[in-house]
Chain A
């Protein structure tokens, strides 16, 4: 489990993370969402021990990470722009990582090279941007980490490779109980893969919630009433996050248990009622608006 308690990180006059509290369960995939400069990469670098928190406590599996090799060997960080040694090939980098990480799995590395169809002896400088990301990702997986931290890992990947990455992550999480933290500024990328989603904005953690709970808790319902029903009547009985009313036709974003909502609406004898599936992006947009943030700014 990853636990952040009152974490503060400053860069000069800028506070990149401001008293962040977060818990990420073991064996889960956590999505870190936020616009550029929100503090996502900083948070990941704190988790892997590249940065040291100015305040607060950060533990991985119950122990601090910074300058603790026993803890750091469980964590691998794939940066948004992975670093490769000058003139290096994948094999060169594999030799480096085998020096740095005690659990580096050479055979798994070779498997991954085949899976991603990357040539181990080709100079990485000649790789495309997407191939470099794949190289960083596969090298990270080959270290057999318990915690894999991915910074914008889907950028530059084609849809097929995205699917490969997603599958690999799911396999590792399912098979080895690996914990993954993925940062992204794109909600759609995380929709299908994440268990938990956190939103960072200007160094503050706005939101952290289990994705299933989140999706199960917010509903979009279109309903038509025969009787005259006012919105205020509905608001008195239901938790209305957003609404659109055209005469007797209501489009409602409601929070709560779906069965209870349905029973509540039944008292006004609706002529028609339809539950429309919400995308993760829509859920967050409504959640953020309720919290008073302009979601368009947060998610671009």
Chain B
């Protein structure tokens, strides 16, 4: 057994600690002066230039220096473990290895931390006095200190595991780059190919990323529970590495110096990580444009095998063990491929098909777009979540979920963009177009899938809270129209409506706020600053209007949307944040409109549409070129306002289709006031509905042509006077 203490006076942690502090006092001094001078200087610069100025520059200098020192100090202090001659001095001395490790580790850490804490602390104080808020700087200091600690511990750990300085540096970098790449690639791959999974809502991913020392620095400097958790992960991992490093140092054989690795497991971790991140990274990148095929898998395997073989050859200092390397690399590739295949064949081990039973669910949270705005943002709040608890509502959600699972194969085919991502510009030339997404969810009317940009369009997020305390979350985007029947029924239920409206009203409650009013049909935008009483008045007006609405209003509004209201409030973090977003005000919402009119807050409407601004028409036979829309579906596309259907013809984004102007140039028509009024009678704002139809865009709002008026609308458009859209 190792004695816990010895009578030899030099065998003291303090002795070694002081020795290193003395030896590297030059580094400490230089680093301290650097932070001591730059820190206050940059705060002053920031003060003079304004709070937001030079934030990146300051971060880079002030917070980057300690990270660099945290990288260098382990090399300076523990570099001797990979130097045989130096070990003849240090390990022959009457000092236990544990003492060497602890003294060296603490001395290096002190050198990294002391100037950071002293001058970082002064910087926080300076920020506090200059800006009356030092929290952001304090949090940044905390982030940097923990990142530096974690990075320092990792570097020490790597040096003790490796046998040469070169490998120490290479594997430190490999771990810091390879690990995040692998995590990112894995989750991206999961996101791309796991039906119902969405990466952004995954806490696990953040936790895994946060093990990497530098992840903290990519996070916002703000106080919240997630941040505190993300701080804890590198802190704990740094401590674990330090303690484990001590154990390895004690066991490390001096003769390992100069060899490729003192402990082989780190090589396997590093090499396997590098191989997997190279292979899976390739697969993630290449399959982001479509589904995975055999060729991609083979190339990914080859890349992974090559990455492993290179590292193993370096470790073996030659090709002596080439066969063993090859067999190991093949096993890794086969293992990784096997797991991927198994994941694919089992639907991510049952994840994709899992639907909880009604009796298991205590409540379900649903987020779905109810907005008519272009960007599909939710109609009232940034979260847009509605929690449903009645069996009837939950059953409707389950029915929708079941329909999504049943339609998994064709939907997934669409999501990965296999069919129709390439469209024919002319008969001889195939170009790839990034197609417009705003029509997505309305083009599913016959069960076929729109060829639109992935990620846009209808999306639903379901979060089941089960009675056993667990949760089950799924996310579906670009769902086909035919599957929305349960959802459309859901919009008519009492529970949904009441909660939706409650949430909506809640989003319009604040001490004060900034109201944004957008005209939906015409161009126009205004903002209105509101005090507490005005906010209250607005809330009351909206409530009164809502109370007048019919039960099926959400499904089928009985009046025309005229304005969108959004409200922003000043957040503690120092920005205007939306509490209500794109709430639609309809013509029938008399109280709200009256209030806005009373405030003179209604935008001055530009009546361009009557004065020559145009609606657009795409010849039916050409529409497949633009939208790849089935030819047999009758439809007319109109446009008014500043956004052309395909963007500006001069937009380089659409340059590919300029080759055949007829294909993209909409037929612009000028409508008279009467024609416009007639048109508005035959179209209706787009919403979730069980019946589809053609789409018209007027003033940036999507309208469906009512099925019975398809021919009439076409006739009306064709009878209107035309003009060159370029004029």
* A residues whose Cβ falls under 8 Å from a Cβ of B: 11, 45, 48-52, 67-73, 75-77, 79, 81-83, 85, 96, 99-102
Residue B253, interface by CB 8 Å: yes
Q: Chain B residues with Cβ under 8 A from A73's Cβ?
A: 8, 10, 94
Given A51-B253, A100-B94; A77-B88 close (CB under 8 Å):
yes
Q: Which of A45, A72, A102 contacts B9 (CB 8 A)?
A: A102
Chain A: CB-nearest residue to B97:
A67
Asked if residues B19 and A79 are in contact (CB atoms below 8 Å), the reply is no
> In whole Å, how far is B298's beta carbon from the nearest beta carbon of chain A?
37
- Give Cα distance in the complex from A51 to B254, angstroms: 6
Of B3, B16, B86, B88, chain A has the most CB atoms within 10 Å of the CB of B88
> In whole Å, how far is B557's beta carbon from the nearest beta carbon of chain A?
79
Chain A: CB-nearest residue to B10:
A102
20 more A-B contacts (CB under 8 A) besides A72-B94, A83-B85, A99-B16? A50-B87, A50-B91, A51-B255, A67-B96, A68-B3, A69-B6, A69-B10, A69-B11, A70-B6, A71-B94, A72-B93, A73-B8, A79-B85, A81-B85, A83-B88, A83-B89, A96-B19, A100-B95, A101-B94, A102-B9
- Give Cα distance in the complex from A67 to B2, angstroms: 8
Asked if residues A101 and B93 are in contact (CB atoms below 8 Å), the reply is yes
Q: Which of B83, B90, B91, B94 contacts A102 (CB 8 A)?
A: B94
Q: Chain B residues with Cβ under 8 A from A67's Cβ?
A: 2, 96-97
Q: Chain A residues with Cβ under 8 A from B15's Cβ?
A: 99
Residue B7, interface by CB 8 Å: yes
- Give Cα distance in the complex from A73 to B11, angstroms: 10
Given A79-B85, A96-B19; A69-B91 close (CB under 8 Å):
no
Sample of 11 A–B contacts (CB below 8 Å): A45-B254, A50-B88, A51-B255, A68-B6, A69-B8, A72-B92, A73-B94, A79-B88, A82-B85, A96-B19, A102-B94
Query: Which B1-37 residues sit within 8 Å CB-CB of chain A?
Result: 2-3, 6-11, 15-16, 19, 23
Asked if residues A75 and B88 are in contact (CB atoms below 8 Å), the reply is no
Asked if residues A50 and B95 are in contact (CB atoms below 8 Å), the reply is no
Per-residue CB contact flags for chain B residues 88-115 toward chain A (1 = under 8 Å, else 0) read 1111111111000000000000000000
- Give Cα distance in the complex from A68 to B98, angstroms: 12
Q: Ordered nearest first, which 4 A-B pairs have the shortest CB separation? A: A73-B94, A83-B85, A100-B93, A69-B8
Q: Chain A residues with Cβ under 8 A from B94's Cβ?
A: 69-73, 100-102
> In whole Å, how far is B23's beta carbon from the nearest beta carbon of chain A?
8
Asked if residues B8 and A77 are in contact (CB atoms below 8 Å), the reply is no
- Give Cα distance in the complex from A5 to B15, angstroms: 35
Number of interface residues of B (CB under 8 A): 29
Asked if residues A101 and B88 are in contact (CB atoms below 8 Å), the reply is no
- Give Cα distance in the complex from A72 to B3, angstroms: 14
Of A70, A83, A101, chain B has the most CB atoms within 10 Å of the CB of A83
> In whole Å, how far is A226's beta carbon from the nearest beta carbon of chain B?
62
Chain B: CB-nearest residue to A99:
B19
Chain A: CB-nearest residue to B9:
A102
- Give Cα distance in the complex from A71 to B11, angstroms: 12
- Give Cα distance in the complex from A96 to B19, angstroms: 8
Q: Chain B residues with Cβ under 8 A from A102's Cβ?
A: 8-10, 94
> In whole Å, how far is B89's beta carbon from the nearest beta carbon of chain A?
5
> In whole Å, how far is B560's beta carbon from the nearest beta carbon of chain A?
81
- Give Cα distance in the complex from A48 to B91, angstroms: 8
Asked if residues B8 and A50 are in contact (CB atoms below 8 Å), the reply is no
> In whole Å, how far is A140's beta carbon from the nearest beta carbon of chain B?
10
* B residues whose Cβ falls under 8 Å from a Cβ of A: 2-3, 6-11, 15-16, 19, 23, 83, 85-97, 253-255
Q: Which of A69, A71, A83, A101 contacts B83 (CB 8 A)?
A: A83
Q: Chain B residues with Cβ under 8 A from A100's Cβ?
A: 10, 89-90, 93-95
Asked if residues A11 and B92 are in contact (CB atoms below 8 Å), the reply is no
> In whole Å, how far is A41's beta carbon from the nearest beta carbon of chain B?
9
Q: Chain A residues with Cβ under 8 A from B90's Cβ?
A: 100
Asked if residues A45 and B93 are in contact (CB atoms below 8 Å), the reply is no
Q: Chain B residues with Cβ under 8 A from A85's Cβ?
A: 23
- Give Cα distance in the complex from A68 to B2, angstroms: 8
- Give Cα distance in the complex from A292 to B6, angstroms: 48
Chain A: CB-nearest residue to B76:
A86
- Give Cα distance in the complex from A51 to B256, angstroms: 10
Chain B: CB-nearest residue to A81:
B85
Of B6, B9, B89, B90, chain A has the most CB atoms within 10 Å of the CB of B89
Asked if residues B86 and A99 are in contact (CB atoms below 8 Å), the reply is no
Asked if residues A50 and B254 are in contact (CB atoms below 8 Å), the reply is yes
Asked if residues B10 and A70 are in contact (CB atoms below 8 Å), the reply is no
- Give Cα distance in the complex from A101 to B254, angstroms: 20
Q: Chain B residues with Cβ under 8 A from A82's Cβ?
A: 85, 88
Asked if residues A52 and B253 are in contact (CB atoms below 8 Å), the reply is yes
- Give Cα distance in the complex from A83 to B89, angstroms: 7
- Give Cα distance in the complex from A257 to B93, angstroms: 46
> In whole Å, how far is B84's beta carbon from the nearest beta carbon of chain A?
9
- Give Cα distance in the complex from A68 to B97, angstroms: 10
- Give Cα distance in the complex from A100 to B254, angstroms: 18
Q: Chain A residues with Cβ under 8 A from B2's Cβ?
A: 67
Chain B: CB-nearest residue to A78:
B88
Asked if residues B96 and A48 are in contact (CB atoms below 8 Å), the reply is no
Q: Chain A residues with Cβ under 8 A from B93's Cβ?
A: 72, 100-101
Asked if residues B91 and A49 are in contact (CB atoms below 8 Å), the reply is yes
Chain B: CB-nearest residue to A49:
B92
- Give Cα distance in the complex from A67 to B253, angstroms: 12
> In whole Å, how far is B18's beta carbon from the nearest beta carbon of chain A?
8
> In whole Å, how far is B320's beta carbon from the nearest beta carbon of chain A?
12
- Give Cα distance in the complex from A282 to B8, angstroms: 46
Asked if residues A76 and B96 are in contact (CB atoms below 8 Å), the reply is no
Given A69-B10, A102-B10; A48-B92 close (CB under 8 Å):
yes
Q: Chain A residues with Cβ under 8 A from B3's Cβ?
A: 68
- Give Cα distance in the complex from A82 to B85, angstroms: 7
Given A100-B94, A101-B94; A45-B8 close (CB under 8 Å):
no
- Give Cα distance in the complex from A49 to B94, angstroms: 9
- Give Cα distance in the complex from A11 to B8, angstroms: 31
- Give Cα distance in the complex from A49 to B19, angstroms: 22
- Give Cα distance in the complex from A100 to B96, angstroms: 11
> In whole Å, how far is B599's beta carbon from the nearest beta carbon of chain A?
76
- Give Cα distance in the complex from A96 to B90, angstroms: 10
Chain A: CB-nearest residue to B80:
A83
- Give Cα distance in the complex from A96 to B18, angstroms: 11
Q: Chain B residues with Cβ under 8 A from A70's Cβ?
A: 6-8, 94
Asked if residues A83 and B86 are in contact (CB atoms below 8 Å), the reply is yes
> In whole Å, how far is B173's beta carbon from the nearest beta carbon of chain A?
24
- Give Cα distance in the complex from A179 to B95, angstroms: 21
Q: Which of A52, A68, A77, A96 contacts B92 (CB 8 A)?
A: A77
Q: Chain B residues with Cβ under 8 A from A79's Cβ?
A: 85, 88
Chain A: CB-nearest residue to B15:
A99
Given A50-B254, A52-B253; A45-B10 close (CB under 8 Å):
no
- Give Cα distance in the complex from A52 to B94, angstroms: 14
Q: Chain A residues with Cβ under 8 A from B6's Cβ?
A: 68-70
- Give Cα distance in the complex from A83 to B589, angstroms: 88
Q: Chain A residues with Cβ under 8 A from B86's Cβ?
A: 83
Q: Chain A residues with Cβ under 8 A from B87's Cβ?
A: 50
- Give Cα distance in the complex from A189 to B94, angstroms: 30
> In whole Å, how far is A58's beta carbon from the nearest beta carbon of chain B?
14
Chain B: CB-nearest residue to A88:
B23
- Give Cα distance in the complex from A102 to B10, angstroms: 6
- Give Cα distance in the complex from A71 to B94, angstroms: 7
Q: Chain A residues with Cβ under 8 A from B7's Cβ?
A: 69-70
> In whole Å, how far is B20's beta carbon from the nearest beta carbon of chain A?
10
Asked if residues B92 and A75 are in contact (CB atoms below 8 Å), the reply is yes
Q: Chain B residues with Cβ under 8 A from A71's Cβ?
A: 94
Q: Chain A residues with Cβ under 8 A from B254's Cβ?
A: 45, 50-51
Q: Chain B residues with Cβ under 8 A from A99's Cβ?
A: 10, 15-16, 19
- Give Cα distance in the complex from A83 to B85, angstroms: 5
> In whole Å, how far is A83's beta carbon from the nearest beta carbon of chain B?
4
Q: Chain B residues with Cβ under 8 A from A75's Cβ?
A: 92
> In whole Å, how far is B260's beta carbon from the nearest beta carbon of chain A?
12
- Give Cα distance in the complex from A99 to B92, angstroms: 13
